[in-house]
Structure 1
Amino acid sequence: TLNRVTLFALILSLGLVVDDPITNVDNVQRHIRLGRLSPRDATLYAVKEVLPPVIMSTVAIIVSFTPMFFISGMMGPYMGPMAINVPLTVSFSTVCALTFVPFLALKLLQKRAGELKGVEESEGAPLWVRRLYGGMIRPFLRRSNAWLLIVVVLLLTCASALLMFFKVPLKMLPFDSRDELQVLLKLPPGATDEDTQRLVFEVEGFLARQNEVLNYQSYVGLASPIDFNGLVRHYRMRNGSNQADIRINLLPKAERRMSSHDLALRFRDPLNELAEPYGALLNIVEVPPGPPVLATMTAEVYGEPGMSYEELQAGARELQKRLHSSDARHFAEIDTMNDYSPQRLIFQLDADKAALNGVALGDITQCLGAALSGAHLGDLRLEGERQPLNLVLRLSYEDRHSLEKLSELTIKGRNGSAVPLAELGRFVPASAELPIMHKNLERVVFVTAECVGRAPGEMILQTQFQTLKKEPLPEGISVKWAGEGEWEITLRVFRDLGLAFAVALAGIFLLLIVQTSSISLSLVMMCAIPLTIIGIAPVFWLLNLLAGSEVGGYSSPIFFTATGMIGMIALGGIVIRNAIVLIEFIEENVARGEPLRKAISEAGAVRFRPIMLTAITTLMGAWPITLDPIFSGLAWALIFGLLASTFFTMLVIPSIYLLLAKENVDSKAG
């Protein structure tokens, strides 16, 4: 379908479809202005000259995007449109760049034929470009300086990789700004509807004072209308008297300054202060909250064979304590999914006495049901009222919670005598029941928590490798962190994206070997790809330092998400174009007999303008995507990765080529 993801793929393609025409038109213009051939022959020669790099760069983009089509799971729908639309658009762009674009360029530029004839050593590059690029590359045309540049770039790449792993917060998907929030309350077991309602009234009083809150609706003792959370997080099952659900509608995004995520952070501490006297767990959930998981952090607690479920429960309680000690502030609503049933009373019937008084079991059940839940007597219809008034017979609130009053209830037997309930049996307290959960035929206890203000992976790793190392769980208890939580989906998605990236790199490398018939030359061209991380990692780190905010005492970071990883994969095919074109022109200059250093300097100056133009158009195509909260990571990765790679490609690729060049070629520069 034509949806938001498809449109973003189209926007991304806008910056790529002009790259091949730019490369061809710039070369056509250069040869026509040089005047060495007739305009028609110059056009044909110019197109032929850049034909291999143009076709190779297009195939490289196709190869880098195609593996995304085979990614399954949650990120599959995000990848599919890009894996289809981008290769199609760049393919048609290449066809256009090789057919009618050169024809139009010939018609528009033939009047400028021979403008540069007689200009010594111009090769069509403007004088200011020759001076600028010559000043940039000249220091690195010495082998010692070239080695120094490569070492510095390697250190920058390693430092950027470490920065990405340890300082840039990682998350599956970023938070979106919605017009609604959801507040969940859970009081201790045994709390009545009235207790829960009192806390709800206090929460509603706080919400009523917030300017961004438009309206709200509360559900006490029952679940709110089913939605994403109700389906995935099982909120539809929250129907105990100790539970409440408040649905909040916010002002439209255009009428408030803070996103719904920041509002949730701002509300959290004041609401927790209201819930604390009641001993209640409170959680503020965003709609939708992210991936389809039970909770942001879901740990599965298992035990050795033969362990009772009570021992598993004890191990789960110990894990809850460890989570609290690990980071009590940023782990919110630490809970288990196993709740004991409320305290109950069972009426044990004395069969002999019941038979003696002619009382059946159904009579007692009907009597207790009417006393506790009420018996519908009929409808009272009043004049002027549209709806009838239901008449229900039931004991008062105080009496139906008193065993003495319940025991005084009388039941009329078959023989016509009224018999008190106390003479027919007695009330016996029933032990609370605990549901036993299984996964893959093993008993399990799910411990859930919400990660607030920090990346889920960072908090899980801290708990796993720091807290539990110092304070291990009881013997026989094991924990699986990658189960039903967001961490499992995050690992799975980044694993699939990493495999797609590796397949794309392998495909590009094979294409370059086929084209160049040289492994070393192909590796030189591939060096442009890892240079992208020099732009991506530091920028995401700086974005958190400069643009990351703190709301309500919680950090609101800018995450590197799966969409940012898509941007890194896309860059693999985009940045290789510059390296291919640059190396092709260097080799052509060397083949014409130019000294190596002059060939490198001349090739960079000639290709400087089209390389910069293609980079700028790609950046302009990605810029509108930065406004979307979900796909902004893709845009930032493209923009800054391309900036860094383009800059370093113009310096590093020629330097590596210089160092790998044969001595007899280098001697011509002497």
Structure 2
Amino acid sequence: MKKLISYFIKFPVAVNLVMALTLVMGFIAASKITSTFMPNAPQRFIYVDVVYPGSSAEEVEEGVILKIEEELKGLEGLDQITSYAQENVGKITLEMFKGTDMDEALTRVKNVVEGISSFPLDVESVVSKKHEDANFSFMFGITGDGVSLKSLKETARKVEKDLLAKKGISKIEISGYPNEEIAILLQEDALESYNMTFEEVAMAVQSANLEMTGGSIKDGEEEFFIRAKNKGYSSTEMDYIIIRQTDNGGVIRLKDVAKVVDQWEDAPARATLNGKRAVTVTINNTFSEDILATADILYEYIDEFNAENDVLHIDVIRDQSDLLGQRLDLLIDNGILGIILVLIVLSLFLNPRIAFWVAIGIPFSIFGMFILISFTSVTINMISLFALIVVLGILVDDAIVVAENIYQHYEKGKPAIQAAIDGTMEVLPAVISAVLTTIVAFSTFLFIDGTMGDFFKDMSWIVGLILFVSLIEGLIILPAHLAFSKAFKANGKAEANIVTKTVDKYLFKFRDNVYLPILEFTLKNKAITFSITIALFIFSVGMMAKKVVPATFFPSIEGDDVTITLVMPNGTQQEVTEQGVLQIENAIDIVNEEMKSEQEGNKDIIKKVNMVYMGSGHQVQFNLTLLGAEERSGSTADVSNLLSEAIGKIPGAESISFASFSPFGDPVVVSLRGDDLEELAIVKKELKLRMEKMPELRNVKDNNPTGNREIHISLKDKAYQLGLTEQQVISQIRQGFFGYEIQRIQRGQDEVKVWVRYDMDNRSSFGDLEKMKIRMGNGVAYPFSEVANFTIEDGYSSINHIDFNREMKLTAQLKNPDDALPDILNKIKTELLPDLLKEHQTVEADFDGQKREQEKVGNSAAKVIPIVFILMFTIVVFTLRSFSQSFIVFALVPLSFIWVVLAHYLHGFAISLMSFMGIIALLGVMVNDALVLINAFNLNLKAKMSFDDALIEACLSRFRPILLTTVTTVAGMGPMVFETSLQARFLIPMVITISYGIAGATLITLIVLPVCIKMFNQIKVKIKKIKTGEEVNQEAVESAIKELAYDYEEA
């Protein structure tokens, strides 16, 4: 290594070439890195979608879900399996473990599903697919005064085609309208008068409405294809299909017995934007697509579209690029301010020219990192930029130590080149170890499971690679520059300006007059110092235990949208739901006006309102787009609470919930599991009532709303006497009331189903059912009321499973997002659940949502952190060549918790998993200062100093670089510590953990570490005396002195 360092010092042209190439190539690499809202995380989900028209939730569960689940038991790599069954459809979601080969897992799932041959005949499709590697980016609505829904749909399709033709947009979804269908609506009177059945009509349409090739004829040199082209693609074309020929030679056409109409499916899929009928378009960016580039393309297209159309208009509803832009601007501003503060600190403590060459390491390291990061999947996002801010001050630590040591060697009278070589080599082991321990500490995030791990993997790459480049710069580039710097004069004294001289004067005055007396006092009173330190640690733990500083799982992430979901009882007519919708719309206007009056500039707080009908007309979702977080006067939680108060109770509503996006799941999720649906329903209902009374919670809802009431059919004795079966009766009822799909027609991009069913006038009341004719095989028909009875019973709208058990789930939001979630969950577990579970012993309860995410992080951390500690400990042992000194370094690490707790108390934050991530990052940085001090102590011992002199001299000589590395690190993150932006709030716990922790670690290193070194020395001396029976001096038991003895023996 010495030869390499000497080579570059003596060949400065190579150094300058490396720097120039790095900066140029780094700039090119940075320009090609894509931008995303959050880090790209490989998806670990596989879905099995089931379409079973005309089925109930129980039929989907029994006929499809249970069969698939049974075959999937024991699937390799499966973490959790959930499913739901509801009318007509079902879905199974498989979450795989991190690191699973998703293509291989999907193949296994497909093989299992396709191997099941016992699905009911009416199951339309069972499709297995994996979650696409794409992120939601934009949503916009297309509206137009007086424009029909069909025209809106056609416009949306054209917009989709236009945008897909542009580079950088590949995934678009359109919603806001039902599917189109052709309905053949029969009248019972017409069927009876012609003595006709559903099957006859269906068969006649299928036979006549077709397009088929019948071969070809070759006539000489020409070939003619034989084709029947009789397919009608619209209701008017089908009107004239012949159903039957009469005895007198006439014909009965379809229009004679039915009304054929082109219509939308009988589904409530409908969307509005600011009160106008709308079709919504969603753009999802793949991992290779740049969200900011997509934004430029999209807005340019929207501007052109709106300029060319007088009636139609496009409005953006949600724009993740705007949110990303706000957060990137915030982070960049803080990063620039951090760099300025670091440069100011360097210029105060170091000679300006030395400070300049140290500071040059910042852009060199950043651009070098961009070159290396271009070979990974890391993108420009708020986490990767946040990582840059975190590492700003850290990345010059090694350069400061090297520069300071070169400075000290030069002050001893060595030539500049020799000072550069000797100064670098002297601290080389400590610097390499310090950087490696920091890289190892940050690499922990690569192995953390769950969403948190997906979030912070980019931080591991950014910090690891930038520190690696900074290490190269600090050991090779920096010494070469300093060796020829004009900062060093020919007389052997470093050049200093008045500012540096003044700072040095007061710094050394503080060191000698304040720090030294404190150090000497603590070394003489080791027990007092150690006791005070331990007392402070216990006090900080007590602050946590007594909830003075609360703990939670995940901090809230501020967004720019609020979602309101209204759920009415299943079966509620859309007209009834509309009354609840009107109440919500009025409340939205009231809240907006109330907050608008308090807003600077009198701006609307709620900018856009997108309403979407879901389910069967009983569910409505409002997506509210808010004024940007940096402009509005309140948080999303404030807006949600005001809306909740303004809306109040909606008559007949099952639930009304308010939510904003959280990647970590709902804070409170209680999963009730068992096989008996009735028992589950009883426990769910009672627990829901209890949770609604908790003052900390709002929006308590469940995933099993009341189902439609069901009409259950049973046959009378007469039916059996006539030879009718239940299947024959229910099949005819299904044909009339649900419908009989007879064809599918491709009409442009749409696959249009052709249905035969009763006209609405014949299927809208109980009387229609009783009057319906049940037809025998011989053509004789009997009214339903003569052959069957019906009863009305409650049904289930959906049946949910988790890990092969039936499940009912309760979710809730916190009124105050900063409340201590663990305490709330513990209250539910210890106060609300025990008597319910004791009374209903077939039911089990567990927590999901954020609790499950926290367990994922905790379980994975419990596996990886011991390995990280062992690696870091090994690095330190190899550097210090002493187990006892290495043990001291790591034994002091927990003491940083004192300052972590203090930081959260002063800034009013709960300790969360973000704080935990900060503590992990802090580990590596803490070890650095300790290594520098102990390395100097060992060198002093080897220079034949006494133990006490070596220790005190090490503390004094390393006081300046340790203080400087601390100040630069804190300065780099300082702007973020005091950032008041709502956008940055969820990152601040990690920032204050690192910055306060490093500041505290400096005190530990400069005061507590020397005390521990001396205490351990005294212990080793006593042990040695006990073993040998001889008096032993303090120096003889230290590893550095033992090394000298080994070297002497070898010589």
Q: What's the TM-score, normalizing by structure 2?
A: 0.51
2:609 is matched with which residue?
216
Give the C-alpha shift of residue 594 in structure 1: 4.0
1:489 aligns with 2:867: no
- 1:281 and 2:661 correspond: no
| Residue 456 of structure 1, aligned match among 821, 825, 834 | 821
Report the Cα offset of residue 413 of structure 1: 12
Q: In structure 2, the residue corresponding to 1:110 is in which secondary structure?
A: coil
| Sequence identity (%) | 22
Q: Secondary structure at the match of 1:283?
A: strand
Aligned to 2:697: 331
**Which residue number corresponds to residue 359 of structure 2?**
none
Matched, 1:136 2:136: no
1:258 aligned counterpart, secondary structure: coil
2-side partners of 1:301 and 1:49: how far apart?
63
Q: Distance in 1 between the 2:440 and 2:734 partners?
A: 72
What is the Cα deviation at residue 176 of structure 1? 2.4
- Structure 1 unaligned spans of 5+: 118-124, 223-238, 371-391, 545-557
Structure-1 separation of matches of 2:808 and 2:776 = 49
Distance 1:258 1:542, change over 3 A: same
Deviation readout 1:283-330 (Å, 9 max, x if unpaired): 10113x332x5x433323345xxx7432333233343344345xx222
The alpha carbon displacement at 1:518 in A equals 2.1
Matched, 1:609 2:945: no
Residue 637 of structure 2 corresponds to: 261
What CA distance in whole angstroms lies between the structure 2 residues aligned with 1:161 and 1:540?
Answer: 13
Q: Is the 8 A contact 2:554 2:850 kept in 1?
A: no
Distance 2:955 2:528 in 1: 20
Number of aligned residue pairs: 594
Shift in alpha-carbon separation, 1:368–1:477, aligned structure 2, 3 A = closer
Residue pair 1:528, 1:575 contacting (<8 A) in 2 also:
no
Are the counterparts in 1 of residues 899 and 996 from structure 2 also a CA contact under 8 Å?
Answer: yes
Task: Answer whether contact 2:941 2:1035 (CA < 8 A) is retained.
Answer: no
Distance 2:737 2:566 in 1: 31
CA drift of 1:436 comes to 4.9
Question: Counterpart of 1:505?
Answer: 869
Verify the 8 A CA contact 1:8 1:625 in the aligned structure 2: no
1:575 aligns with 2:951: no
Residues 97-112 of structure 1 aligned to structure 2 (within 5 Å): 97-108=474-485, 109-111=487-489
1:385 is matched with none
The question of whether the paired residues in 2 share the 8 Å contact of 1:141 and 1:658 is answered with no
Q: Structure 2 counterpart of 1:87, which letter?
A: G
3-state SS of paired residue (1:566): helix
1:442 and 1:622 mapped to 2: Cα distance?
48
1:298 aligns with 2:633: no
Q: 1:661 to 1:408 in 2, by over 3 A?
A: closer
Change in 2 beyond 3 A, CA 1:176/1:75: closer
Q: Does 2:1020 align with 1:654?
A: no
1:185-213 CA-to-partner distances (Å, cap 9, x unmatched) read 22345644333221221111011121311
**Mapped partners of 1:521, 1:363: distance in 2:** 86
Measured after TM superposition, the shift of residue 460 of structure 1 is 0.9
Alignment of 1:399-478 (within 5 A): 400=764, 403=766, 427-433=790-796, 436-453=799-816, 454-468=819-833, 473-474=838-839, 476-477=841-842
Identify the residue that residue 899 of structure 2 maps to in structure 1: 535
Residue equivalent to 1:564: 915
> For residue 400 of structure 2, what is the aligned residue in structure 1?
22
Whether the 8 Å contact between 2:904 and 2:989 is mirrored in structure 1 is: no
Q: Could you say which residue in structure 1 is the equivalent of 2:452?
A: 75
Query: 1:141 & 1:354 partners in 2: Cα distance?
Result: 105
Counterparts in 2 of 1:45-444, with a 5 A limit?
A: 45-108=422-485, 109-111=487-489, 113-115=491-493, 126-134=504-512, 135-142=514-521, 143=523, 145-164=525-544, 167=547, 168-188=549-569, 191-209=572-590, 210=592, 211=596, 212-220=605-613, 222=614, 239-271=615-647, 273-275=648-650, 277-278=651-652, 280-287=654-661, 289-291=662-664, 293=665, 295-302=666-673, 308-324=676-692, 328-345=694-711, 394-395=760-761, 400=764, 403=766, 427-433=790-796, 436-444=799-807
Which amino acid in the other structure matches residue 199 of structure 1? G
Q: Work out the CA distance in 1 between the residues paired with 2:507 and 2:945.
A: 20
Shift of 1:660: 2.6
Specify the SS of the correspondent of 1:341.
strand
Q: Deviations over 1:157-209 (max 9, x none)?
A: 23323434663444444322222211012234564433322122111101112
Q: Compared with structure 1, are the counterparts of its residues 181 and 433 closer, same or farther at alpha carbon in structure 2 (3 Å cutoff)?
A: closer
Structure 2's unaligned 5+ residue stretches are 1-376, 496-502, 597-604, 723-727, 740-757, 1022-1032, 1037-1051
* Structure with higher RCO (Cα < 8 A, 6+ apart): 1
Using the TM superposition, give the Cα deviation of residue 538 of structure 1 relative to its aligned residue in structure 2, in angstroms. 1.9
Pairwise CA distance, 1:137: 4.2
- Partners in 1 of 2:904 and 2:790 — Cα distance? 65
Larger displacement relative to structure 2 (68-77 or 247-256): 68-77
- Cα distance in 2 for partners of 1:285, 1:530 equals 38
Determine helix, strand or coil for the equivalent of 1:253.
coil
Shift of 1:567: 1.8
Residues 590-669 of structure 1: matches in 2 within 5 Å? 590-623=941-974, 628-662=984-1018, 664-665=1033-1034
Q: What do you get for the CA RMSD once the two structures are aligned? A: 3.9
Conserved? CA contact 1:170–1:561, under 8 Å: yes
Counterpart secondary structure, 2:958? helix
Q: 1:621 to 1:480 in 2, by over 3 A?
A: farther
Secondary structure at the counterpart of residue 531 of structure 1:
helix
Distance of 1:15 and 1:578 partners within structure 2:
14
Task: Return closer, same or farther for 1:187/1:500 CA change in 2, 3 Å cut-off.
Answer: same
> Which secondary structure does the structure 2 equivalent of 1:176 belong to?
coil
Instruction: Note the C-alpha offset of 1:404.
Output: 5.8
Q: Cα distance, 1:597 vs. partner? A: 4.1
Q: Distance in 1 between matches of 2:566 and 2:965?
A: 54
Deviation at 1:572, TM superposition (A): 0.9
Equivalent-residue separation in structure 2 for 1:364 and 1:24 (angstroms): 87
Counterpart secondary structure, 2:488: helix
The SS at the match of 2:839 is: coil
SS in 2 for 1:661: helix
TM-score (norm 1): 0.77
Aligned to 2:94: none
**Which AA in structure 2 matches 1:244?**
V
Higher percent of residues as helix: 1
**1:498 to 1:152, Cα distance in 2 relative to 1, 3 A:** farther
Distance 1:345 1:479 in 2: 32
For the residue of structure 2 that corresponds to 1:219, the secondary structure is strand
| 2:88 aligned residue | none
Q: Secondary structure of 2:671's partner?
A: strand
Map residues 515-526 of structure 1 onto 2, 5 A cutoff: 515-526=879-890
CA distance in 2, matches of 1:198, 1:540: 47
Q: Which amino acid aligns with 1:448?
A: T
Give the letter for the 1:619 counterpart: V
Cα distance in 2 between the residues matched to 1:63 and 1:418: 82
